[in-house]
Chain A
Amino acid sequence: MALKTWRNWRGWQGLTLALLAAGLPGLQGGTLAWMTVAMLGLACLKLLEARSLGERRLVALLQLVVAGLLAAQRPELGPTLLQGTATVTALAGLLALELDAGLNARALLSRSLQVALAALPMALLLLVLVPRLDPLVPLPAPEDRVAETGLSADLDPGGIARLAGNDAPAARLAFAAGGPPAPAERYWRVLVHERFDGRRWQRGERSLEANTIPLPPAAGPANQLWLMEPSRFAAVPWDGTSRAPAGGDESLRLHGSGELLLRQAAAERRTYRLAGQERGVSWQQLPPGPVDLAFPAGRQPRLETLGRSWAELPSTEARLAAAESWFRSRPFRYSLSPGALPETAGLDAFLFERQEGFCGHYASAYTALMRAAGVPARVVSGYLGGTWVQPLGGSPFLDVRQSNAHAWSEVWVSGEGWRRVDPTVWAGGGGGAVAGAVAEAAAARTSWWTWSQRQWWGLDVAWSRWWLGFDRAEQENLLQRLLGNRRDWLGALVLLAVGLTLAAGLGLLAVLQRRGGDPARRQLEWALMPLRRGGLEPEPGESLEHFCRRAAAARPELAAGLSELAASYQSLRFAPPGTGGSNSRARLARAAHRLRHNTTLTVRPWMQMCAGSNGSRTIAGPWSSWIEPPPP
Chain B
Amino acid sequence: MTRSPLQPVIAAIGEVLLGKERAVKLALACLLARGHLLIEDLPGVGKSTLAEALARSFGLGFKRVSFTSDLLPADLTGINVFESASASFRFHPGPLFSEVLLADEINRASPRTQSALLEAMAAGRVSVDGTSHPLPDPFLVIATQNGLDQGGTAPLPESQLDRFLMRLSLGFPERAAEQALLTGAGGHPDTIATGLGPADLRALQQQAAGQHCSAALVDYVLDLLARSRSSGMGGMPLSPRAGLALVAAARAWSLLEGRDHVLPDDVQAVLAPVCEHRLDGGQPRHEPGELSRELGRGVDGLR
Contact = CB atoms under 8 A, between A and B. Distances in A.
Interface stretch (A120-128, A449-457, A538-546, A591-599): A538-546
Interface in A483-525: 521, 524
A424 to B, nearest CB: 76
A627 B264 CA distance: 12
B288 A632 contact: yes
A269 interface: no
B303 A541 contact: no
Given A539-B297, A576-B212, A628 B289 contact: yes
A631 B171 contact: yes
Contacts of B297: 539-541, 623
B261 interface: yes
Contacts of B264: 543-545, 574
Given A626-B268, A627-B293, A632-B288, A575 B300 contact: no
Contact of A627 (B261, B262, B272, B303): B272
A71 B302 CA distance: 43
Contact of B261 (A521, A541, A543, A576): A576
Contacts of A524: 302
B288 A541 contact: no
Interface in A54-81: none
A631 B172 contact: yes
A576 B260 contact: yes
Contacts of B263: 543, 545, 570, 574
A541 B271 CA distance: 12
A629 interface: yes
Contacts of B40: 630
Contacts of A542: 301-302
A630 B169 contact: yes
A145 interface: no
Contacts of B260: 575-576, 579
Interface in B287-303: 287-290, 292-293, 296-303
B302 A623 contact: no
B123 to A, nearest CB: 28
Nearest to A525: B302
Contacts of B11: none
B133 interface: no
B293 A630 contact: no
A613 interface: no
Given A546-B265, A570-B263, A628-B272, A541 B301 contact: yes
Contacts of A184: none
A547 interface: yes
B116 interface: no
Contact of A538 (B273, B287, B302): B302
B117 interface: no
Contact of B298 (A538, A540, A546): A540
A132 interface: no
B74 interface: no
A546 B296 CA distance: 13
Contacts of A540: 297-298
A626 B212 CA distance: 23
Interface string A591-632: 000000000000000000000000000000001101111111
B292 A627 contact: yes
B272 A624 contact: no
B280 to A, nearest CB: 11
B181 interface: no
Nearest to B254: A574
B302 A574 contact: no
Interface residues of B, number: 41
Interface string B61-99: 000000000000000000000000000000000000000
A332 B199 CA distance: 117
Contacts of B171: 630-631
Nearest to B286: A632
A533 interface: no
A544 B302 contact: yes
Interface of chain A, main secondary structure: loop
Given A570-B263, A627-B292, A630-B272, A543 B302 contact: yes
B214 interface: yes
Contact of B268 (A576, A624, A627): A627
B298 A630 contact: no
A541 B298 contact: yes
A572 to B, nearest CB: 9
B105 interface: no
A101 interface: yes
Contact of A631 (B169, B276, B290, B303): B169
Nearest to B292: A627
Nearest to A545: B265
Nearest to B269: A627
A260 to B, nearest CB: 63
B268 A629 contact: no
Given A538-B301, A541-B301, A543-B302, A575 B172 contact: no
B226 interface: yes
A525 to B, nearest CB: 8
Contacts of B284: 630
Given A541-B296, A623-B296, A574 B217 contact: yes
Interface string A577-593: 00100000000000000
Contacts of A419: none
B289 A630 contact: yes
B168 interface: yes
A516 to B, nearest CB: 11
Contacts of B188: none
B167 interface: yes
Given A574-B214, A574-B216, A624 B293 contact: yes
B214 A629 contact: no
B288 A631 contact: yes
Contacts of B262: 574
Contacts of A579: 260
Given A626-B268, A627-B269, A630-B168, A541 B216 contact: no
Nearest to A571: B261
A544 B292 CA distance: 19
Contact of B214 (A101, A545, A575, A624): A575
Contacts of A628: 22, 272, 289
Contacts of A330: none
A546 B216 CA distance: 17
A630 B172 contact: no
A544 B301 contact: yes
Contacts of A630: 40, 167-169, 171, 272-273, 276, 284, 288-289
Contacts of A627: 268-269, 271-272, 289, 292-293, 296
Contacts of A575: 212, 214, 260-261
B46 to A, nearest CB: 13
Nearest to B216: A573
Contacts of B301: 538, 541-544, 546
A593 to B, nearest CB: 19
B86 to A, nearest CB: 51
Contacts of A632: 169, 288
Contacts of B216: 573-574
A409 B298 CA distance: 81
Given A539-B297, A623-B297, A547 B289 contact: no
Instruction: List 3 A-B pairs, minimum CB-CB distance, nearest first.
Output: A629-B289, A631-B171, A576-B212
24 contacts: A521-B303, A524-B302, A538-B301, A538-B302, A539-B297, A540-B297, A540-B298, A543-B301, A544-B301, A544-B302, A544-B303, A573-B217, A574-B212, A574-B216, A574-B261, A574-B303, A575-B212, A576-B214, A627-B292, A629-B272, A630-B171, A630-B272, A630-B288, A631-B171
Given A544-B301, A546-B265, 4 more contacts: A546-B301, A623-B297, A630-B272, A630-B288
